[in-house]
């Protein structure tokens, strides 16, 4: 029987489609497609010529990097 830790690890390692990643971020799939074209947004994995997937960990890191305390907060200084 799988343990909860193993189940959580497997869940975090799974690859999400653009549609699923967009739902995770509460965005439209079109927003992620646009960000990929412009080179911004969360990291993604290209599988072959057309298949694009997202790792849950990359999505969580993308969200964490966007946390701000005020509208004038530009985030961490680039070093």
Q: What is the per-residue pLDDT across 7-52, written as a single tens digit (0 to 9) for each? A: 555 555 689 999 999 999 999 999 999 999 999 999 999 999 999 9
Query: 53: which residues sit within 8 A by CB, 6+ positions away?
Result: 15, 16, 17, 44, 45, 47
pLDDT at 76 over 80: no
Q: At the top level of CATH, which class does the domain 4-65 belong to?
A: mainly alpha
Tell which residue, 26, 3, 20, 31, has the closest CA to residue 55: 20
Domain ranges of the chain: 4-65
CB-based burial, 65-75: b 16+ in 10 Å, e otherwise: eeeeeeeeeee
Is this model's pTM higher than 0.85 or not? Answer: no
């Amino acid at each position: 029987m799988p343990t909860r830790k193993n189940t959580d690890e497997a869940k975090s390692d799974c690859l999400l489609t653009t549609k699923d990643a967009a739902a995770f971020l509460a965005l439209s799939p079109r927003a992620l497609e646009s960000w990929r074209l412009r080179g911004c947004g969360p990291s993604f994995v290209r599988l072959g010529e057309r298949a694009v997937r997202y790792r849950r960990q990359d999505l969580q890191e993308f969200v964490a990097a966007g946390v701000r305390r005020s509208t004038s907060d530009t985030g961490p200084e680039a070093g």
